[in-house]
Each structure stands twice: as C-alpha cells, then as structure tokens.
Structure 1
Amino acid sequence: MNGESLNARGLSRRQFLRTTAAVAALSTLPACSLVSASRQNGQWEYHLSAEPSQAELVPEHQTDVLAFNGETPAPTIRCRQGEPVTIHFTNNLNEPTTIHWHGLRIPIEMDGVPFLSQAPIQPGETFTYRFTPPDAGTFWYHPHMNSVVQLGKGLVGAIVVEEATPVVFDEEHTLTLKHWHLDRQGNWKDLAIPRYSARMGTPGEWGTVNGIHHPEYTLQEKATTRLRLANVDNTLTYPIQVRGAEAWIIAIDGNPIATPRRLETHKIAPGMRLDIGLIAPNAGETVEIMHMKGDFPFLLASFTATPSTLTEKPLPTLPLNPVAKPDLENAETRHFVFEWAGAITPADKQGKGKHEFWLMNKRAWEGMSKGNIPEPIAKLERGKTYIFDLKNVTQYHHPIHLHGHTFTVLEMDGKPVTPFHTDTVLLGKNGHAKAAFVADNPGRWMYHCHVIEHMKTGLMGFVEVT
C-alpha cells in the first residue's frame, strides 16, 4: 500500500514498520491497523471497540469525539471477497450501540440494526460479527443507534473488500469525506437543528478527508492509482471532480461498472462511495480532488507526483460482483413516494416535541423497541424480482439506502440509463428513479434516507423478505 498506510502528518517509515509489525500477515495494510488483526487460512479476524476519545481535527485544538479503537480517522478494515470475517466488537461507550456494515450483503443477524436484527450492545458488552462478503469493493461501517450523535461525533469507518483474485494497482488510497459540526476552536456546535432537519439537514462547517483538513499525499509518477472515496457525512452531498489527471469512474457504491467512464462530475451523497482510477502525472505535478459546490469549488485533498521507475500502463480491470440478474419480465413494481410532512411537531408522553418532518408513502417511521416492531413498509417474496419506483416530491436530496440487497438502477429522472449496481439511489430535487433487485436475502431490512436527520425524523422503514 503506497501512501494510504502513511498518514498525512508524516509518520516515518521506521515508525510505520514498527507499528504494523503485528499485522504483517495481512496481504495489504489499512491506514490504521486494528488491534490483534490477523489473516490465517483464508479467515480474517479483528478486534474493534467504540469509546470516547480526543482528536485534533482543527489544528492546535483538541475535540472530544467518539472513535473506533480511539482513532480518528477510524481503522480501515480490509478483508477479501468469499473469505470469512470475524470482528469482535466491544462497546466502551456510555450508551448502547451496534455496527451496520453498509452495502454488504450479509445475513440479517449480522446487519447491526437494533431490535430488528440484533439486541443493542450494552456498555461494556462484546458482540462478535461473523460474515463472508460476497462482493468486493469499497464499503463502510457505522452504528445504527443514536445516529445523529454517534455518527456525527466520529463513529464512521471504511471497510475494503479485496477481489477474490486480487486486482493490483501501483497505488491505492481510501478517502473518507466528512464535515464536522465544529467552530474554528474545535468546539462542538449543534449536530441537528430542527429547521434544517426539515430541509437539507444541518451541515457541518469543518471539512476533512481522513480526519484532516486539506490533506496532502504523494503518488509515484505514472502509477496506476485507485482512489476509494466514501461519504461518511451525516448531511452533505459531494459533487466530485478530479483536476490534474484524466480520471475514470471504475466502481459506484462498491460495485464495479462494466465499462469505466470518464469522470466529469459525480455526486456522492451520504452513505455513497466512488472508486476512481487514474494514471499519476509526471513528477512534480499535482492531482486535486475537488468538491464542486456551485460556482465555488473546494479542495478536498491533493496528491503530488514523485519520481519513480514505473512505466505507464493501462489501468487494471475490475471484475463485476455476483449480483443476481433481475427477471424484469416477471418483476412486480412497488411504488414509494418520499415527501415532506409539513410543520407538524407531535409531542411525546413527556410533552417534548418529537419531530416528524418526512414521510415515506404517507407514513413517518414510528421507531421501535424490544417487542415493539412496526409493520414493514413492504412484504416481499424471497427469490422474486421487484422494481422499486422511487419518487422524491421535495426540493431536497434523498439518498435512499436498502440494507442486505443491491439495486440494479434502470432509470433516472424518467430516462433509461446503462444499468449499474448500487445500494443507495440518490434522488435529487423532484427526482425519480426505477431500480430492480432480486429479493434473495431473507430478513427484515432497513430502508431509509441516508441523510441522518431525515432518517431520524421520519424517512425510514423496513422491507420484509420471506
């Protein structure tokens, strides 16, 4: 791993080798090595924890955060397609939590949704997640409890699933994108403001990549390069552009596309990922990853090419994931409308306002607890193909995420598209999409907007596959 394993604050090679000696058995090393990480006999095992910690997100200021293994950015977990993974997770928070493995098609018992797929993990408890990822790609992990706070304060991390037959790039970098709700002294501001929750969501003000504001990395000149971008933000959609090199979209939300296409500008909303392939330029030249926010683009991260002995060669080809092909001729269409509930704030039993700003098919998510699971938004027959007709009748973005399955997108805004696979469909202002999938994973699967405040104020439900 060139570049990814050396952080932007200048960890020396000697320090790096000493730090990662415990995981030398791994075929490639994550940005932050996990305690007791190992790979033996085709099985991967990790120990992971969540706890309060501190991080220097704003230079020269310490901020109280929530962190996996006490680290910001969180450790990048690496495993391999078709090989078993064991993750022993310990909750060192002062409240219950879980971990959801976003985008992974794994058994319902491992999906990390409290009450729906597992009991909440109480403070001091350890829960062991075991699964075998069927798909290779860029995914991520996060809690599904008290999500505004737990995700907003830092419990977000990347999980990289290598191809069963490894695809080797000269350089590979995983970039987690997040805006923190901090002032310029590193103090927390409101994570959610109701008037914004009823609109786009409450945006953070301090932007980071891998926990660093405008990090600077290096690339070997002429290196075949894979950039894995993951939007782990609660709110913001990033229109991504690359300057300084010809860049190609090679995978969307963890799923390779059959024919890579030139990257002009591509939006990744909360929960979404984008894999970019490029050839590093000549030594001394710079590649910039830009957030194209209207007419005022912002730099996210930069890479400066350094001298090397590499010769230019084509980008490696990614194999497609084994996603079941939808039977469109016999598919059943289900319609879902995502809309605003209006300025209605019901109160709970204590008289405290319970905000419900958003509706899915005229229904706001009721919440759930032990022994109190609402009715599913849809009941699906196992093995059958469904087309979800998704309509956003608001002026705000809604990235619609389905657990446990992978969509095949057929149409966007009334126009047919070259089908591609994703677990999160971005609906823009008054957006409309049609996405098909085979309901081949039994269980009760969350189905929600991944703008966290939208999810927490109504835009969530679940589908049941039986």
Structure 2
Amino acid sequence: MFTRRHLLRGAAASGAYAGAASLLPAWAQSVHGGQSMQKQPPALTGPAFDLSVGHANVMIGGRNGHAVTVNGSLPAPLIRFREGERVTLHVHNTLDEDTSIHWHGLLVPFYMDGVPGVSFPGIKPGETFTYEFAVPQNGTYWYHSHSGLQEQSGLYGPIIIDPAGADPVSYDREYVLVLSDWLFEHPHKVYAKLKKNNEVFNMQERTLGDFISDASEKGLGKTIEDRAMWGNMRMSATDIADVTGAAYTYLINGHSTDDNWTALFETGERIRLRIINAAAMTIFNFRIPGLPMTVVQADGLHVQPVDTDEIQIGVAETYDVIIEPNRPRPFAIVAEAIDRFGQAVATLSPRPDMRATAPLLRERPILTHKDMAMDHGSMAQNMTGMEHGDHAMTKQAHSHKMGVGVDMVAEMPTNRLNEPGLGLENVPHRALRYTQLKSTVQNPDLRAPEREIEIHLTGNMERFMWGFDGVKFSAIEKPITLYEGERVRFTLVNDTMMTHPIHLHGMFFELNTEESDHRPRKHTVNVKPGEKLSFDVTADHVGDWAFHCHLLFHMHAGMMQVVSVLPKSEGRPSSNMDHEGHDIHPSAPHNAHKHEGH
C-alpha cells in the first residue's frame, strides 16, 4: 500500500527534505537551508501571544516522526519579552488530552506557573487558558509542558527576556542553541521498558577485555573484589544514563548531526550563545573544540566572566557564553551525552558550504566508590540500615523511609561542587565547576538561614523507582512548608549513583559554593552521585511550587515534592519549633531540623 509515510520518505529521498525545514521556527533553521544571516534570531514578540498545542509530523535525520508541538514547530517558537512589560499568552489545546505550559525560571504568580495539580488544573482538550503576568527579570529561559511526557515529545521552546536598560553583556551576534533528546518510539513505551529493566538501554557494559585491562592496572584481587561488589549490588558501574543513544537521537535546534545545523560568523565577532538544555533525560557535556568560551550567565542571571572549554549542563539549566572565533574555519558545536554513547554536532562556520568534522565519542565514564559515597567494601553495612557508623549517619538512616523504593543510602556523602561533573574530572582542558560561578551583583538577602531542611534523593535503580526521602510524589501527605520572608537552607543528599538536576519553581536560590555575598543564584542544580550540597532560599514568593528532579522519567516515577510558601498572615512557628511544630535540637546550626517528607 502506498501510504503517507512512503510519500514522506520518497520526498526526502528525492531532495524535497528541505521542505521539512518549515516545521522548524525561523531561529532554528540552518543557514544553508536558505535563511539569511541574522544578527538577532526572529522570534514571537509581545505583549500578546497565541500558542497552539497540537500534533505534528516531523522529519529528523531523514526519518519521519510524531511530535507534540507549539504552533506546529519543533522546537517551539522562540518567545521574546522585555523586562518590565506585562504579557498575555493564550494557550490553545488542540490535543485529545490535557496539556500545560510551565515558564521555566520565570518569577510569575504561582497560579500562572503551569503545573497541573499544583498551581492550576491544566488545560483541557479544546480549551484555551490565558497566562498573564509581568516580567520582572531578564536573561535566557525556556518553556515546556508539565503534563505527562509531552515534554519528551517536543513541547519545549526558548525564551529570551531583554533587559529594560543596557545589556551588560556586549556582543555582535547571538544564537540560541536548544539541546534535546528525541525518541522515535512513544515515550510511555520507553518508560514501560525502564520499569521492566532499568538497564535495557545500557549498551556499554564492561567486557572481558575491560576485566583484563583493570586486572593489569589494579591487580587481579582488587579487580575480582570490585566486580563481585557490583554484582552483589545488582548494579552496573556503567549505568550513567537511563535512556541512551541506543534509543535517542540527540538534537541541536531540532536538528540531528546528519542535518548539520549551521551558524555563520565573521572573524573577530563576539558571539553570544544562549545554551538551553531542554532534554527530557540527557545531561550534556557542551564544548566547541579549539574555541574557548567565556561564561557570562547561568540560569538567566549574570555571573562574573569565567573562561572555560567545556560545561556539563544539567537538564533544565541554561548558560550564556561568549565566543570569539578568530580563524575563518568551521568549528564543531558538540553536545555529548554524559554517558558518551551519543552526541549532537552542529557547525559554526564563516561560510554556509563548510562543515565541521564531528569529533569521535570519548571513552565512557565509569562509576567509582566515590559515587557510592562509601568506603570500599562498606556496601553490606549500608544495605542493612546503617547500623554501624557515627551518630549523624545513624540518624540519617532513620530520617527517611527505608524499603523497596530505596536501594542504598550514602554513608559518607561529600560536597562535590568543586568538581566539573561525571567524566570530566581528568579532561586535558578546562571544565566549568559551580565554585567558579560568582554573581555580578551582591546577593539580595545576606541573612543567615533560620533553619535547615535536609532532603534525600532516593531510588531503586533496578525497579526504576525514584523519590525524595524514600517516598514518591503520589504518597506525599504534606508539602514542605515555608513562611513568607523566612530564610531557609536546603541540604540535598544524593543517596543514588546517578546525577539528578533538581529544580525549584518560583524562587532562585544561592548555591553554597563559598562564604561570600556574591554566590551564584540558580533555579536548577546538578546533584552528583553521593553528593551532599546546600543552597539558601528566601521564601519571598507566596504560593505552591513544584520541586523535582528534572529528569522527566524520574519525576514521572515520583521524584517530586511541593514547596508551599504561606503568607505572613497565617503566622509561623516560634523560633524553637520547626514547620511541623516539633522541637528543634538547640545545638543544631541555624535551628537545623530534618524534614521527614512523608
């Protein structure tokens, strides 16, 4: 039978593939597809917008696929605001299921935040919801669905908010780079596969050759002991990413490496790249071999310039960098998956007919005992509930639910903010560390935290179960409660061997990189395996706010909570009581307490 699928394939084969470029918004189309060189990317500008969520057929790397899109394009249209203006966005749902749009990183009223079941009911099929809010900030942000797994199917797009006054960053040209991961298979089918076998997409398991190599380097006894330990845990040292290049096609601005998305430059220009990791499940290592980058913005907020060569960008993080190509040759723009089983490569070139050589994938990273946050051989004690060890660790073991949803507890978590990220520890060039980020302006609230809330990131990797404090979102009985105006320290302990990008809606937080009044302010932070880190929050935004891992399938499995900021009028506990009315140990720093989360 001659089907529409055959027609599309035939059209691509006959050279009509260029017509598929119409599915991409103008800013995402490659310059060699007929687009003129633009100093600024074309965008939807306000103050009023009409956005239609619906189904679309897309062509990626010569293959036909199905997407959920905004205004029929993948990625969704670039939306450009100006700081201080009031905008209205009419979102029309043409799907046969509920949808939503969350304005990631924007400080909007909570009922405009776009999280079904938390801040609003969602948008029913055939209905229109109008978002309306003032824009109190500037920088690089993005938007995406918060309904089901629609984000994985293509419902994501960039936001640029121009400053009301002069931009402190000078540049001659800018490009938006939206990094993402694409599935030709339905995301719910992929999720079902992970529930049955969490390693179904791990094609980089260690081999006999690896064993021989390790034995030669470390000794036979230590190698056998190491392999036995991993076997007893029923875990893999190469289990870095749940969904890998075995299933994913990695994209830059909706283009695969084969498509060769191309950005043009003139030698000597200062080019601003606005990099957004809009992937569902992929942490990317971003670099342009042979071309250094200067980081000028992180998560939409300005930072003191930092020179680097590579950045590990967590899902939902954004970075603005300045590059200055000084040679008239093509450069490869590389977004390599954290497990190095796939990448997306684009071209930065002085001419549209040039193509950069894609670098080879680098050697896969291997998890170590540091990623387990324990000494060699201590797993048995850990798995029995941490009966051995100091008082703090014993208290930790009983501070959150143990059971089928928790397969390990970090015995000795450490602060890893000064590390560039898994696999980048020994690269021969500079790799960005959170400790290098410093705000260009003084932090707005210099008060010490009044109390501390400790939250454990937990999971059972074998059963693909994820949660906070051993509890999935559907079983949460009460939110994390803050009170308007108070200063709170959040301490996150990663009890798993995976990196989790944790995102707080509605508020920026100061990352505890050092004792300083210029700490970086972010809305998303990568929490490395076995890591314990802290950030401070001023509860200045009343409402109910989602707080979750931004790995979409982890959130879908339950790694989510709600932070509820109550207004001053509702009162707050006395200084020696926590938010649930319990006494706080008088010796705890900043009246620290442990949030039970269930």
Which bracket does the TM-score occupy, shorter chain normalised?
Answer: 0.7 to 0.9
Deviates more, 1:427-436 or 1:330-339: 330-339
The 3-state SS of whatever aligns with 1:113 is: coil
TM-aligned CA distance change 1:453 to 1:46, over 3 Å: same
Q: How does 1:151-170 map to 2 (within 5 A)?
A: 151-167=151-167, 169-170=171-172
- Deviation (angstroms), 1:156: 0.9
User: CA offsets per residue over residues 168-215 of structure 1, 9 Å max, x none?
Assistant: 5211111111121238xxx98943222339974333421110110132
2:310 corresponds to: 265
- Deviation (angstroms), 1:87: 0.9
Q: How does 1:57-456 map to 2 (within 5 A)?
A: 57-59=60-62, 61-146=63-148, 148=149, 150-167=150-167, 169-182=171-184, 190-192=189-191, 193-194=194-195, 195-196=197-198, 200-203=241-244, 204-214=247-257, 215-257=261-303, 259-286=304-331, 288-291=333-336, 293=338, 298=343, 300-305=345-350, 325-341=444-460, 357-366=465-474, 375-411=477-513, 419-456=519-556
Mapped to 2, the partners of 1:437 and 1:227 lie a distance apart of: 29
Determine which of 6, 9, 12 is the counterpart of 2:34: 12
1:22 corresponds to: none
- Deviation (angstroms), 1:245: 2.0
Tell whether the 8 Å contact from 1:139 to 1:159 is kept in structure 2 after alignment. yes
TM-aligned CA distance change 1:182 to 1:292, over 3 Å: closer
Tell whether the 8 Å contact from 1:286 to 1:305 is kept in structure 2 after alignment. no
1:463 aligns with 2:463: no
The 3-state SS of whatever aligns with 2:473 is: coil
- Deviation (angstroms), 1:341: 4.5
Structure having the higher Rg = 2
User: CA offsets per residue over residues 431-457 of structure 1, 9 Å max, x none?
Assistant: 221111211000010000000111111
Mapped to 1, the partners of 2:50 and 2:455 lie a distance apart of: 39
What letter matches 2:521 in structure 1?
H
What letter matches 2:250 in structure 1?
G
The 3-state SS of whatever aligns with 1:455 is: helix
- Deviation (angstroms), 1:5: 3.5
The 3-state SS of whatever aligns with 1:226 is: strand
What letter matches 2:154 in structure 1?
G
Mapped to 2, the partners of 1:329 and 1:283 lie a distance apart of: 51
Tell whether the 8 Å contact from 1:411 to 1:417 is kept in structure 2 after alignment. no
- Deviation (angstroms), 1:382: 0.5
Mapped to 2, the partners of 1:288 and 1:114 lie a distance apart of: 36
Tell whether the 8 Å contact from 1:235 to 1:451 is kept in structure 2 after alignment. yes
TM-score by length of 2: 0.63
Tell whether the 8 Å contact from 1:241 to 1:263 is kept in structure 2 after alignment. no
TM-aligned CA distance change 1:358 to 1:287, over 3 Å: closer
- Deviation (angstroms), 1:244: 2.8
The 3-state SS of whatever aligns with 2:474 is: coil
TM-aligned CA distance change 1:261 to 1:419, over 3 Å: same
- Deviation (angstroms), 1:329: 2.4
1:50 corresponds to: 53
Tell whether the 8 Å contact from 1:280 to 1:305 is kept in structure 2 after alignment. no
Aligned length: 408
The 3-state SS of whatever aligns with 1:191 is: helix
Deviates more, 1:211-220 or 1:282-291: 282-291
- Deviation (angstroms), 1:383: 0.9
What letter matches 1:397 in structure 2?
T
Question: Please, which runs of 5 or more residues in structure 2 have no aligned partner?
Answer: 1-24, 200-234, 353-437, 567-598
What letter matches 2:243 in structure 1?
T
TM-aligned CA distance change 1:87 to 1:324, over 3 Å: farther
Question: Please, which runs of 5 or more residues in structure 1 have no aligned partner?
Answer: 18-26, 308-318, 345-354, 368-373
Tell whether the 8 Å contact from 2:173 to 2:272 is kept in structure 1 after alignment. yes
Deviates more, 1:200-209 or 1:189-198: 189-198
Mapped to 2, the partners of 1:166 and 1:74 lie a distance apart of: 28
Tell whether the 8 Å contact from 1:407 to 1:435 is kept in structure 2 after alignment. yes
User: CA offsets per residue over residues 374-396 of structure 1, 9 Å max, x none?
Assistant: 64431101011111011101101
TM-score by length of 1: 0.80
Between Structure 1 and Structure 2, the one with more helix by share is 2
Mapped to 1, the partners of 2:471 and 2:337 lie a distance apart of: 34
What letter matches 2:276 in structure 1?
A
TM-aligned CA distance change 1:110 to 1:324, over 3 Å: farther
2:389 corresponds to: none
TM-aligned CA distance change 1:157 to 1:295, over 3 Å: closer
Between Structure 1 and Structure 2, the one with more strand by share is 1
The 3-state SS of whatever aligns with 1:62 is: strand
The alignment's C-alpha RMSD in Å is 3.1
Mapped to 2, the partners of 1:9 and 1:50 lie a distance apart of: 27
The 3-state SS of whatever aligns with 2:555 is: helix
Mapped to 2, the partners of 1:114 and 1:419 lie a distance apart of: 32
